[in-house]
Amino acid sequence: MKSKILAIAVAAGTVVAGSLFSAPAHAQLTANQDVDVEINVPEVLFLRTFQTISLDISEAELGGVTTGGVGQDYNNPALTDGTTTIDQTSPFAALSAGTITKNVAELYAVWSNNPGGATITLTASTPGLTSAGGATATIANVTNTGTDPTTAIGLQTPYVGGADIEFDLSTATEAGLYNGGIINVSVATP
C-alpha cells in the first residue's frame, strides 16, 4: 500500500509541477491603428422655378390718372372757340416713358455643391405677349436681382433670387390678360 500511496503522490506532484512549469503566461496583448476614410461626392446642380409668373399692372403704374378705371381732366387751354385743337398728349405718362418694371422677389432657387458657385442668367426667350383680341405687349428686359454666388451654395439651403421685368405696353391697346411670353432661367457652374 505504501507503494500505491507513493505512486499517487508522485503522479499528483508531476501533474502539479507540470502545470506550474508548462503553462504559458497569459499577458493581455492589444494593437490598434487609425484607418483613413474617404468618400467621393458627385457634383450636382438643381434649379427650381415657378411655372408661371402672373403679374397685375395697376392703375397707378399706368400713370395714376384714373380711379376705379376712370379719369378726367380739362384741356389746356380750357376754352375753345371751335377751332382750338385739343391736347393729344397721353395722360398715361408711364407708357410714354417707355416701360413699366415689375419685381418678382423670388423667381428661382438653386442648390449646388460646386465649390466655385454658380452663374444665373435670365433672358426673355419669347418676349411677346398677346391679348385675346390680338393686342401685344413686350418683355423689354429681364434683370436678375441677385448676386451670383462665388462659393458652394450647398444642398440643404438654396440660393434664392428674383427678377425685375420691364414691360413695354406701347402697343397694349386693350385691357385684359396678355400671355405667351417666356423667361428662361439658366444656371451654370464653373
DSSP string spanning 122-170?
EEEEE-EEEETTS-EEEEEEEEE-S----S--EEEEEEEEEEEEEEE-T
pLDDT of 90: 86
Cα 106 to Cα 152: distance, rounded to the nearest angstrom: 20
Report which DSSP code applies to 42. P
Q: Which helix (H) or strand (E) holds 46?
A: strand 45-49
Report d(CA 138, CA 181) in Å as an integer: 8
Give the Cβ contact number of residue 137 at 10 Å: 23
Residue type, 72: Q
**pLDDT per residue as tens, the chain (190 positions):** 556 654 565 555 555 555 545 556 788 999 999 999 999 999 999 999 999 999 999 988 888 788 898 999 999 999 999 999 999 988 887 676 678 999 999 999 999 999 999 999 999 999 999 999 999 999 999 999 999 999 999 999 999 999 999 999 989 999 999 999 999 999 999 9
Given this model, what pLDDT does residue 22 score? Answer: 57
For the entire predicted model, the pTM comes to: 0.78
pLDDT of residue 95: 74
pLDDT the model gives residue 174? 94
Residue 12: what pLDDT?
Answer: 55
Provide the residue count of the chain: 190
Helices (runs of H) and strands (runs of E) counted in the chain: 2, 8
Q: Over the range 102-117, which residues count as b (16 or more CB within 10 Å of their CB) and which as e?
A: bebeebbebbbebeeb
